[in-house]
Amino acid sequence: MESVPVSVVWFKRDLRVSDNPALVEAINGPYPVLCIFNLEPERLERADVDPIHIEWELDCLTELRTALESIGGSMQFNLGQVTDQLSELHETYDIKHLYSNEETGLQWSWDRDKSVAEWCSANGVEFTEFPTNGVVRRLGTRDHWKKHRDARVSSEQINTPVAMESPKGFTSNSIHSMEQLGLAARTLVERPLPGEKAALNVLYSFLDERGRTYRKDMSSPITGWDACSRLSPYLAAGCITIRQILHHTRRKQKKVKVNPRSKENLGWTSSLSSFQSRLAWHCHFIQRLESEATMDVIALNPELDGHLAREMDVERYAAWSQGKTGWPFFDACMRSLIATGWINFRMRAMLQSVASYTLWLPWTDTGLHLARCFLDYEPGIHWSQVHMQSGVTGINSIRAYSVRKQSTDQDPDGDFIRTWVEELRDVPKEHIHEPWLMSDEQQKEYNCLIDVDYPSPIVDEKTARKEGVSKSYSAKSKPESKQRSLLVYEVHGSRKRR
């Protein structure tokens, strides 16, 4: 009996039906469509992957499966190698065409994608990939990248399909539970709802009201919780695209421009402008990983990184990673991140900066810890930021955050500190930022004995930070570091007007 010819849509981190060119092209083609998702055992073992990532992705996949079934499609889940899944399907069906959207990831995912391309070539299957957001594949230089990026994310959205045909006998199978995978994810406080519909609802709530104070409130972990878009977990799973977000943002912008000083529109002009800038950064940083798939293990400027020669200090790493450094605001930020899976961008930068400059810890190890903490872990953005905040690019400014300054700027009354560092819940405002300066009597009065209930600072923050900055400038000035920096800029440097 002759096999039924089919097209296959391979879903990866693009878990949506709307604005999905791979899905729509397959549906518009001449063959019935099979939809597949593959979870690689290798990924479960990776040091940058945490069970919260897998649970989030599978929950979003479940929502996608429901959406596909509502228009006549089916989704099959597989745990194993995707080429094995394709081979098994090819024995039952005659796969004519494989469609997918490009994914920018670390080296292991590049190797996976290349193995799929090789499988298609060996089996006479046409393989078509579509660009994702503003990332340009095979980009030689950053000259004119912005023009390509802007044109792509400003183009018309792909229409959402309303019907599709699956071959007879092809039905959805069950998606593995976390228990079946042998994984247990930590419970996150106020974890977002998964899936494409939830992503759009979060976007609408941001553009309806939450984003009004985005520009002035995004830097604080207190106000940023509501004022930031909170779309990052959905972007990481591909439940929504930059093009979709920009489309709705620009619609809002047009409404605001009619009467920007009205009570209804007050505050929106600057906030929408800042928000669009950050969306551009999103593509800019992921573009770096597109060209350097080993950013989790090799610095963009390896010569500079070699001169820095940071070494692991187990005691410092433990205090940093657990939020037990003795710096209340820092510890609150780390504990909040671990509990919720999210913290605002400025505080992410501070967490990494303190690790690299003040504590002089290796960025590879600290970067892995933060990757596991973030529900919205996006390798391109994450490792680009780790490199920048650790001073290993050679083209970015050395920016070492003062914990004391961030503490008084972002949490002047200490409310955030008391929320996440329970040992300090009774400490008043005048001592909350530097509790180790309290007298013995005050420590007893406020139920916080230093080095008993809460640690004293692991190092003198100001002295250690300045020492780290000095060593970083010295390493950056070395001839070989400067030479590599020229190459880094050519491939990765921002061209604001081009």
For residues 52 and 184, what is the distance between their CA atoms, to the nearest angstrom? 8
Amino acid type, 72 = G
What is the mean predicted confidence (pLDDT) over 14-40?
A: 98
For residues 141 and 33, what is the distance between their CA atoms, to the nearest angstrom? 37
Q: What percentage of the chain carries pLDDT values higher than 70?
A: 99
Among 201, 200, 224, 222, CA closest to 211: 224
What is the mean predicted confidence (pLDDT) over 144-155?
A: 91
The pLDDT assigned to 145 comes to 87
The pLDDT assigned to 495 comes to 64
H or E element at residue 414: none
3-state secondary structure (DSSP) of residue 321:
helix
Residue 431 — pLDDT band, cuts 50, 70, 90? Answer: very high
pLDDT digits (tens, 9 = 90+) for 175-187: 999 999 999 999 9
For residues 172 and 329, what is the distance between their CA atoms, to the nearest angstrom? 48
Among 126, 131, 133, CA closest to 99: 126
Least confident interval from 140-144, 257-261, 377-381: 140-144
Please give the full DSSP string across 184-247, using - where no structure is assigned: -PPPPTTPPPPSHHHHHHHHHHHHHTGGGGHHHHTTSTTTHHHHS---HHHHHHTSS-HHHHHH
For residues 278 and 393, what is the distance between their CA atoms, to the nearest angstrom? 20
Q: 497 pLDDT exceeds 60?
A: no
Q: How many CA atoms lie within 13 A of 451 on its CB side?
A: 7
What Å distances lie between residue 429 and 30, 330, 336, CA to CA?
A: 69, 16, 20
For residues 278 and 254, what is the distance between their CA atoms, to the nearest angstrom? 19
Q: 498 pLDDT exceeds 50?
A: no
What Å distances lie between residue 345 and 217, 229, 348, 417, 463, CA to CA?
A: 12, 11, 5, 18, 25
93-101: strand order across its sheet: 75-79, 33-39, 4-11, 93-101, 126-130
What is the mean predicted confidence (pLDDT) over 24-50?
A: 97
What is the mean predicted confidence (pLDDT) over 31-40?
A: 98
What is the mean predicted confidence (pLDDT) over 438-442?
A: 98
pLDDT digits (tens, 9 = 90+) for 251-300: 999 999 999 999 999 999 999 999 999 999 999 999 999 999 999 999 99
Mean pLDDT rounded to a whole number for the chain: 96
What is the mean predicted confidence (pLDDT) over 182-194?
A: 98
What is the mean predicted confidence (pLDDT) over 123-134?
A: 95
H or E element at residue 494: none
Residue 353 — pLDDT band, cuts 50, 70, 90? Answer: very high
Residue 1 — pLDDT band, cuts 50, 70, 90? Answer: low
Q: What percentage of the chain carries pLDDT values higher than 90?
A: 95
CB-based burial of residue 251 (10 Å sphere; 0-12 exposed, 13-18 middle, 19+ buried)? exposed
Q: 156 pLDDT exceeds 90?
A: yes
Q: 323 pLDDT exceeds 70?
A: yes
For residues 435 and 451, what is the distance between their CA atoms, to the nearest angstrom? 11
Question: Which domains does the chain show, CATH number per domain?
Answer: 4-130 (3.40.50.620), 196-291 (1.25.40), 302-484 (1.10.579.10)
For residues 241 and 280, what is the distance between their CA atoms, to the nearest angstrom? 12
Residue 187 CB neighbours (<10 A): 8
For residues 100 and 120, what is the distance between their CA atoms, to the nearest angstrom? 13
Length of the chain: 498
Three-class DSSP labels, 142-194: CCCHHHHHHHHHCCCCCCCCCCCCCCCCCCCCCCCCHHHHCCCCCCCCCCCCC
3-state secondary structure (DSSP) of residue 31:
coil
Residue 7 — pLDDT band, cuts 50, 70, 90? Answer: very high
DSSP state of 356: I
3-state secondary structure (DSSP) of residue 129:
strand
pLDDT digits (tens, 9 = 90+) for 57-104: 999 999 999 999 999 999 999 999 999 999 999 999 999 999 999 999
Residue 175 in tokens: 């998606």
